[in-house]
A and B are shown apart, each in its own frame.
Chain A
Amino acid sequence: MPRPQYQSKLLSLTASALLLFTLASCSDHQNNVTAGNLSGTLHWGNSTEPQSLDPHIATGVPEHHIISALMEGLIYKDGETLEPRPGVAKSWDISEDGRVYTFYLRENARWSNGDPHNAHDYVWSWWRALQPALGNLYAYMYFPIENAKAYYEGEISDFDQVGVKAIDDFTLQVRLANPTPYFLQLLDHYSLFPVHRATVEKFGTADQRGTRWTYEGNMVGNGAFQLKEWKINRRITVERNPYYWGADNVGLNQVVFYPTENVTTEERMFRAGQLHYSGVPSDKIATYREANNPALRIQPYLGTYFYRFNVDTPQLQDKRVRRALAMTINRDQLVTQILKGGQFPAYAITPPGTMGYYPESDLKFDPQAARQLMAEAGYPNGEGFPTTEILYNTSEGHRKIAVAIQQMWKKYLNIDVTLLNQEWKVYLDTVSNHHYEMARAGWIGDYVDPNNFLDMFLCNGGNNRTNWCNPEYDRLILEQAPTAKSHAERLTIFAQAEKILLEDMPVIPIYVYTSNNLVHPSVKNFGRNILNQANYREMHLQPESAQEASQ
């Protein structure tokens, strides 16, 4: 999922005013964290206002955090090991050939308004998610299911032929086109979450975008929490859902999500005791490290930061130009001097080591060869290369990287690049509509498998957004890999596909993420995993240690 990461847009004065405000409230001993620890309220720095809370429309980490509190899939992933745990399905069977999954749903599962929740909800929700008019960016996540791709692309119009069937109220059968090792993990992705039919239809048709069904007072979910209040650009509060099947074991009463776009401000809020969880600006990591501050968590993170090319841009149509641009980014310097959070330079789109997969890449930092390529493409010494624009979502972190890359390209290729920043929601729209030349992007694994990074660039993948399309690539990902005989063979096919991708270079891999966050010591059962997925249903707060920590 795309990640906005460090966001910011406030004027210095506003920032310092906020600082004064947080300092002032700091002297008040009842700060958010102390009060929250007593009342069981978790205060979560969520970096930006979500684009949508509709699981079949949303894309992005901030959206994911909120949706994962409000909704649940058939299974969920363990906070530490990422093993599948029974969610709405209390158990499941997998057929010998790995193609038929039968889920046995909990009879005590309920929607947050008390309505019964059963297998038919899944059939309807998945039908909805595959309606082309809905514009589900993640529709391709369904493609492992038999006939889902054909249905989505309009080749068949009868949804009964798609491999999902409610055998009875509490038994759901899913037939796959091919054995898919990561299928259970997919079920924990919001694009496969069920939605409450009556609520969706009350506020519009099933495939209508942007209806009011996800608004405060309207939304009905099936997760551990329910939507209590949504104050645009201020906070989103979710509270315990009494109808949740596991409500007795939920440790938190409320979670409050704050859309603080400026990570510096967010970190100050954390220090002032206003947040349990926040990001940390790269320039402050060293300070936290030296102080051995237990709040700082730097963990491996299955994600890649990259730049997308809109390959229809005239000057970017030539893959030699795209490769030259990729070859003149000094990733080592970016990682050590700008990011400072233990990130790795990325030379391929899939993070190395994903399920034992190590991408082969011939990409390296080589200005000499890059200049040669530019000359061959008709831009010797950058002459005649039009000024090109990098789009990024407003954030000091992205700005820093863009400023450094802008200068590297100027220095090594003598080309001019301008920067344009847009707010997260606008940025997502601009990129989805292909109204850009180059755009910053980040992709965080939704499940642990190379497929999650590579199927992003399918010709009609909703998250491709580069206009790049290679039938051979599609064939490898959609036909070859799923039918591979062994894991090793599957990885070989992925390596072939990734080679094609890197050869055509519709994206520039820049670095492999680490998740750098501040977590207040009073948060227990936080869980660590390489997807940095927050498992709100298992967290709880312990006031005593909070007081120790604040002294």
Chain B
Amino acid sequence: MKASSQSTEQHSSLWLDAWLKLRKNRLALFGFAVLIILCVVSLLTPWIAPYGYEQQDLMLGATPPSLEHWLGTDIFGRDMLTRIMYGGRVSLMVGFIATAVALVIGILWGAIAGFMGGRVDALMMRIVDILYALPFMIFIVLLMVVFGRNILLLFVAIGAVEWLTMARIVRGQVMALRKQEFIEAAYSMGLSQWAIIRRHIIPNTLGPVIVYTTLTIPSVMLLEAFLSFLGLGIQPPQSSWGLLINYGVETMEEYPWLLIFPSVTLSLTLFALNFLGDGLRDALDPRAAKD
């Protein structure tokens, strides 16, 4: 590959390289495909769902999978497939939005603290320590009580407590990076601090960040289920995967399909996220690209 022109082409080749590498990773592609399918199905759910998510048939009650109800029905006679599809909308939204909030805050905070060092770093990390020390359930509950039971606020509230670990990871990476020669080189070229953070530091921390992100999404989904159960998240008849699993556990001996199908769906999503995360980390690692 000849680098004839400078920055713009170099920049695109990093992503192009990544894509080329990712394409060779079958598991990652499989994960990617599963996620795309789940997202598309979730988006289209209101039009393609076989039943209404709140449509009950008490006389039918809980029935195992059948031709009319592919994944069976719950104790209210509601179609499980429909419930899982609608639940996915909530779960995926919580997973992505809350994690995005956590990512943005965490990376910026960690990168600035790590890069500035000294007093700024000490101050910023002490703030993180203080927030860590707060029992985070109480923190979320407080946020929810103050701001009301709004589903968007739920996302933000979860994101607002999930960024702490991210900030620490990024800070550690940045501390190691900023001593390296290419940063000094960038300084000597006259780049501003902000440009260095943006162009050099953050891309180099992407590996661990992506891995951690794929771990954050599932924990956020479970957190949402817990909050909903406390009456702070979403409320019946709406549902999410976490809640469906929660209800499924209660009757797993009598009606196992109420537990199995939502659990399989959630597990599939988590696997897909992990495979994709793994693949992305390998693909995006700038050090690997130099080989």
Q: A residues bordering B, Cβ < 8 Å?
A: 8-13, 15-16, 262, 264, 281, 283-284, 286-287, 330, 333-334, 337-338, 394, 396, 399-400, 402-404, 406-407, 410-411, 418-422
Which 3 residue pairs of A and B lie closest in terms of their CB atoms, listed nearest first?
A12-B246, A421-B231, A11-B226
Q: Which residues of B, 225-261, contact A by the 8 Å Cβ criterion?
A: 225-226, 229-231, 235-237, 242, 245-251, 253-255
Residues of A within 8 A of B48 (CB): none
Among B236, B242, B253, the residue within 8 A (CB) of A419 is B236
Say whether A419 contacts B54, CB under 8 Å.
no
In the complex the two chains form, is B236's CB within 8 Å of A402's CB? yes
Q: How distant is the Cα of A394 from the Cα of B230 in the complex, in angstroms?
A: 8
Contact, CB under 8 Å: B254 / A12? no
Evaluate contact between A419 and B58: CB separation under 8 angstroms.
Answer: no
Complex CA–CA separation, A478 to B229 (angstroms): 43
If the complex has contacts A16-B249, A333-B58, A338-B58, are A422 and B231 also in contact, measured as CB distance less than 8 A? yes
Given known contacts A12-B225, A12-B242, A407-B76, A283 and B58 CB-to-CB distance under 8 angstroms = no
14 contacts between A and B (CB under 8 A): A8-B229, A11-B242, A12-B225, A283-B75, A333-B58, A337-B58, A337-B59, A394-B230, A396-B247, A407-B54, A407-B55, A407-B56, A419-B236, A420-B235
Given contacts A9-B229, A11-B225, A418-B235, contact A404 B246 (CB under 8 A): no
B50 contacts partner chain A, Cβ-Cβ < 8 Å: no
- A333 CB → nearest B CB, Å: 4
A403 and B254 within 8 A (CB): no
Shortest distance between the CB of A338 and any CB in chain B (Å): 7
Q: CA separation between A410 and B247, bound complex, in Å?
A: 22
A residues within 8 A CB of B222? 11, 13
Contact B249 A333, beta carbon cutoff 8 Å: no
State the Cβ distance, A57 to closest chain B Cβ, in Å: 25
Q: B244 → chain A, closest Cβ, in Å?
A: 9
Contact between A420 and B231, CB atoms less than 8 A apart: yes
Q: Who on chain B is nearest to A286 by CB?
A: B254
Instruction: Please name the residue on chain B nearest to A287 by beta carbon.
Output: B254
Assuming the A-B contacts A403-B76, A418-B235, are A333 and B59 also in contact, with contact meaning beta carbons closer than 8 angstroms in the complex? yes
Interface flag for B203 (CB, 8 Å):
no
Answer whether residue B61 sits at the interface, using C-beta atoms and an 8 A cutoff. Answer: yes
Chain B residues with Cβ under 8 A from A411's Cβ?
A: 56
Q: Are A284 and B246 interface neighbours, CB within 8 A?
A: no
B245 proximity list for chain A (CB < 8 A) = 12
B76–A283 contact, CB under 8 A? no
Cβ contact within 8 Å between A410 and B54: yes
Take A16-B249, A284-B254 as given contacts and tell me if A407 and B237 are in contact as well, using a CB distance cutoff of 8 Å.
Answer: yes
Please tell me if the beta carbons of B229 and A10 are within 8 angstroms of each other in the complex. Answer: yes
Which chain A positions have C-beta within 8 A of B226?
11
Q: How far is the CA of A8 from the CA of B249 in the complex (A)?
A: 12
Q: Knowing A11-B226, A13-B222, A403-B236 are in contact, say whether A264-B250 is a contact too (CB < 8 A).
A: yes
7 A-B pairs besides A283-B250, A419-B235 with CB distance below 8 A are A10-B229, A264-B250, A283-B62, A283-B251, A287-B253, A330-B58, A338-B58
- Known contacts A11-B246, A264-B250, A283-B251; is-contact A338 B75 (Cβ 8 Å): yes
What CA separation (Å) do A16 and B248 show in the bound complex? 11
Q: How far is the CA of A422 from the CA of B232 in the complex (A)?
A: 10
Nearest CB in chain B: distance from A449 CB, A: 35
Q: Closest CB-CB distance, A177 to chain B, in whole Å? A: 44
B75: chain A residues at CB < 8 Å are 283, 337-338, 400
Check A12 against B249 for contact (C-beta < 8 Å): yes
CB B272 to nearest CB in A, in angstroms, measures 21
Q: Which chain A residues border B62 with CB–CB below 8 Å?
A: 283
Shortest Cβ gap from B49 to chain A (Å)? 17
Contact yes or no, A283 B237, CB < 8 A: no
CB within 8 Å of A: which B17-45 residues: none
Smallest CB gap from B248: residue in A: A12
Complex: A101 Cα to B231 Cα, angstroms: 50
A422 smallest CB distance to B (angstroms)? 6
Which of A11, A16, A262, A403 has the largest count of B CB atoms less than 10 A from its CB?
A11
Report B-chain residues with C-beta under 8 Å of the C-beta of A402.
236
Most buried by B among A406, A407, A410: A407
Residues B54-85 near A (CB distance < 8 A): 54-56, 58-59, 61-62, 75-76
Q: Determine the chain B residues whose CB is within 8 A of the CB of A419 once the complex forms.
A: 235-236
The listed residue with most B CB atoms (<10 A of its CB), out of A11, A12, A406, A418, is A12
A404–B254 CB distance below 8 A: no
CA–CA, A400 and B251, complex, Å: 13
Query: What residue in chain B is nearest A264 (Cβ atoms)?
Result: B250
Provide the residues of chain A in CB contact with B242, threshold 8 Å: 11-12
B270 to chain A, nearest CB (A): 14
Report the Cα distance A83→B136, complex, angstroms.
53
Most buried by A among B55, B249, B253, B254: B249
CA–CA, A287 to B251, complex, Å? 12
**Contact among A15, A281, A404 with B76 in the assembled complex (CB-CB below 8 Å):** A404
Which residues from A are CB-within-8-Å of B253?
284, 287
Q: Contacts A10-B229, A11-B226, A13-B222; is A399 near B236 (CB within 8 Å)?
A: yes
Distance of A109 Cα from B76 Cα, bound (Å): 54
Shortest CB-to-CB span from A452 to chain B, Å, is 31
Question: Distance in Å from the Cβ of B227 to the closest Cβ of chain A?
Answer: 9
A406 to B75: give the CA distance in the assembly, Å.
Answer: 15
Residue of B nearest to A337 (CB): B58
Chain B, residues 189-232, CB within 8 Å of chain A (1/0): the string is 00000000000000000000000000000000010011001110
Q: How far is the CB of B141 from chain A (nearest CB, A)?
A: 12
Q: A186 to B266, alpha carbons, bound, how many Å? A: 55
CA distance A419 to B230 in the complex (A): 12
In whole Å, how far is A427's beta carbon from the nearest beta carbon of chain B? 10
The reply to whether B76 and A396 contact each other, CB–CB distance below 8 Å, is no
Q: Which residues of A contact B237 (CB under 8 A)?
A: 403, 406-407
Name the residue among A403, A410, A419 with the largest chain B CB count within 10 angstroms: A403
Tell me, in angstroms, the Cα distance from A334 to B76 when the chains sit together: 10
Candidates A11, A264, A394, A400; contact of B231 at CB < 8 Å: A394
Contacts of A264 in B (CB 8 A): 249-251
Write the chain B residue with the least CB distance to A389: B235
User: What is the minimal beta-carbon distance from B86 to any residue of chain A, in angstroms?
Assistant: 15
Contact status A11-B229, CB under 8 Å: yes
Query: For the complex, what is the distance from the CA of A313 to the CA of B234, rounded to whole Å?
Result: 24
**A404 and B58 contacting across the interface, CB-CB below 8 Å:** yes
**Cβ contacts under 8 Å, A334 to chain B:** 58
